[in-house]
Structure 1
Amino acid sequence: MRILNRKTLEITGVKEVDSFDSEEFLLQTSMGYLVIRGENLQMKNLNVDDGEVSIKGRVFEMTYLDENHGEKAKGLFSKLFK
């Protein structure tokens, strides 16, 4: 993963983009789910075959949700799919 000037993210190891909007992206990666939060977020490039995603916008937070954080992931998913 590369962060360029807090405005562009280049992420590798992405298996699937589960959801996204201008404030939040939810990505399934080889290391678990990755949540990216910010403002004016836009998908700049997507290549799921190579596992690469580029996102531009102002990034405030990046959080991994894995098996060790099951409760947090469950809460996030229940909010997403209400």
Structure 2
Amino acid sequence: MEERQAPKAQNHKLVVNNRKTSMVTGVLDVLSFDLNEILLETEQGMMMVKGTDMHVNRLSLEKGEVDLSGNIDSIAYSDIRPGAKQGESFLTKLFR
């Protein structure tokens, strides 16, 4: 019998420089973004970055990296529900 191993969680890192630029690793998906808010799904849960003139400068989902810029006012995390299945869409999670 084959032995299954749980997928190894990537490290998650958040670096903010002078509240103007940010580099995030461990990103699974960018769920939404506009000039005032960016919503990311990370290895450590959902991450919401709020501010003004927000932009996603670089996105590499293969590497799990995102570079953000703008006037960052707040960063908040919320846990992914333990029952959430990997690969489910955001809308499926939202309408549970």
Give yes or no for TM over 0.5. yes
State TM-score, norm by structure 2.
Answer: 0.69
Q: Which has the higher contact order (CA 8 A, sep 6+)?
A: 1
The equivalent residue for 2:11 is none
State the secondary structure of the residue aligned to 1:9.
Answer: strand
**Whose radius of gyration is greater, 1 or 2?**
2
| Consecutive aligned runs of 4 or more in structure 1 exceeding 3 Å deviation | none
Q: How many angstroms apart in 2 are the aligned matches of 1:3 and 1:32?
A: 18
State TM-score, norm by structure 1.
Answer: 0.80
State the secondary structure of the residue aligned to 2:63.
Answer: coil
Tell me which protein shows more helix as a share of its residues. Answer: 1
Amino acid at match of 2:22: L
Q: Alignment identity in percent?
A: 34
Tell me which protein shows more strand as a share of its residues. Answer: 1
RMSD (CA atoms): 1.5
Unaligned runs of 5+ residues in structure 1 are 69-76
